[in-house]
C-alpha cells in the first residue's frame, strides 16, 4: 500500500470523526436549549408563588398585630369595667347601709377605710375613713384616731395617732348626723414593716359606744390604687 493511499484513508477517517463529533455536539446543545426552555415557565411560576407567599405573610403579620392590639384594648376595657363594677358595688353597699340599716346595730360605725400612696412622697399615704350613724337622728361629734402595728428590726412595735399623723396630732375631729368622709395624711415611720392599721372613732358625750377596727395593712388599698 502506497503512502498516498494511507494518507487518503486517514483523511477520510478524520473527516468522519469530525462529523460525528459535530453532530453529537449539536444534538447535546439542542437538548440543553430544550431543557432550559422548559424550565423557564416553571421558574417564573415559582417566582410568582414566592412573591405571593411573601405578600400573604406580610398581610398575616399585619392582621396578627391588629388582633393583638385589639385584644389589648379589650382586656383594658374589661379591666376598667371590673373597676367600675367594684366601686359601684362598694358605693351601693355604703348607701344601702345608710338608707336601710336594719341589719346594723344602732350607733356609730366605721363604714370604710382606704389608703392611697402619695406618689410624690415615699412612705406617705392619704387615708380616707367613712363614718356612719345607724338609727340616730342627732348630730354625733367626736374624734378619730389611727394607730399602726408592725415590725421594726424584727421587733413588734406600735405607733399612736400623733406619731403617724403629725398634722393632726390630737386626732381628726368629726361631726355629722348620717355619715361623714374623713381624710388626712399618714406618715410611715422609717424601717417599719406595717402589718395592721387600728381605727378608733370616739364619740364625745353622746352615749354612743366607741367604734373600733383593726385591719390588715394590705387590705386597705383598693383595686385601682394598687399596693404600696
Percent of all residues in the chain with a pLDDT value above 90, rounded to a whole number: 36
Helices (H), 100-184: 161-164
- Residue 18 grid cell: 469530525
Q: What is the pLDDT of residue 13?
A: 52
Tell me, what CATH number does 152's domain have?
2.60.40.150
Q: Averaged over 133-155, what is the pLDDT?
A: 90
For residue 169, give its domain range: 105-220
| Coil vs helix vs strand at 101 | coil
Q: Is residue 3 part of a domain?
A: yes
Q: What is the pLDDT of residue 183?
A: 95
* Boundary of a domain, candidates 49, 74, 100: 100
Q: Averaged over 13-28, what is the pLDDT?
A: 51
Q: Is residue 74 part of a domain?
A: yes
* Boundary of a domain, candidates 48, 66, 100: 100
More confident residue, 105 or 174: 174
Lowest-pLDDT range, 129-133, 153-157, 160-164, 221-225? Answer: 221-225
Q: Is residue 225 part of a domain?
A: no
Confidence of residue 24 (pLDDT cuts 50, 70, 90): low
Beta-strand relationship, 211-216 and 192-203: antiparallel
With vertex at residue 98, the alpha carbon angle to CA 92 and CA 103, rounded to the nearest 5 degrees, is 95
Lowest-pLDDT range, 9-13, 34-38, 189-193? Answer: 9-13
pLDDT above 80: residue 210: yes
Q: Is residue 226 part of a domain?
A: no
Whether the CB-CB separation of 191 and 91 falls below 8 Å is answered with: no
Distance (Å, rounded) from C-alpha 154 to C-alpha 170?
29
pLDDT above 70: residue 48: yes
DSSP letter (8 states) at residue 180: E
137 and 92: one domain? Answer: no
41 and 110: one domain? Answer: no
Q: What is the pLDDT of residue 165?
A: 94
Q: What is the pLDDT of residue 72?
A: 85
* Boundary of a domain, candidates 100, 135, 166: 100
86 and 125: one domain? Answer: no
19 and 49: one domain? Answer: yes
23 and 117: one domain? Answer: no
135 and 86: one domain? Answer: no
Q: Averaged over 98-118, what is the pLDDT?
A: 81
31 and 89: one domain? Answer: yes
Which pTM was predicted? 0.60
Q: What is the pLDDT of residue 7?
A: 47
Q: Averaged over 74-82, what is the pLDDT?
A: 82
| Coil vs helix vs strand at 53 | helix
Amino acid at each position: 500500500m502506497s503512502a498516498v493511499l494511507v494518507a487518503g484513508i486517514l483523511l477520510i477517517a478524520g473527516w468522519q470523526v469530525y462529523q460525528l463529533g459535530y453532530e453529537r455536539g449539536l444534538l447535546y446543545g439542542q437538548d440543553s436549549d430544550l431543557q432550559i426552555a422548559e424550565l423557564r415557565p416553571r421558574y417564573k411560576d415559582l417566582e410568582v408563588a414566592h412573591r405571593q407567599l411573601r405578600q400573604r405573610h406580610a398581610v398575616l403579620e399585619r392582621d396578627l398585630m391588629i388582633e393583638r392590639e385589639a385584644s389589648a384594648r379589650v382586656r383594658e376595657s374589661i379591666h376598667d369595667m371590673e373597676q367600675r363594677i367594684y366601686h359601684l358595688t362598694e358605693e351601693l353597699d355604703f348607701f344601702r347601709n345608710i338608707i336601710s340599716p336594719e341589719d346594723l346595730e344602732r350607733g356609730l360605725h366605721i363604714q370604710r377605710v382606704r389608703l392611697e400612696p402619695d406618689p410624690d412622697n415615699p412612705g406617705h399615704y392619704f387615708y380616707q375613713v367613712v363614718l356612719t350613724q345607724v338609727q340616730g337622728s342627732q348630730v354625733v361629734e367626736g374624734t378619730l384616731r389611727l394607730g399602726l402595728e408592725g415590725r421594726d428590726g424584727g421587733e413588734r412595735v406600735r405607733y399612736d395617732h400623733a406619731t403617724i399623723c403629725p398634722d393632726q396630732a390630737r386626732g381628726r375631729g368629726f361631726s355629722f348626723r348620717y355619715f361623714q368622709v374623713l381624710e388626712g395624711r399618714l406618715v410611715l415611720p422609717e424601717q417599719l414593716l406595717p402589718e395592721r392599721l387600728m381605727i378608733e372613732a370616739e364619740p364625745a358625750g353622746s352615749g354612743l359606744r366607741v367604734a373600733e377596727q383593726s385591719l390588715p395593712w394590705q387590705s386597705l388599698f383598693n383595686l385601682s390604687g394598687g399596693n404600696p
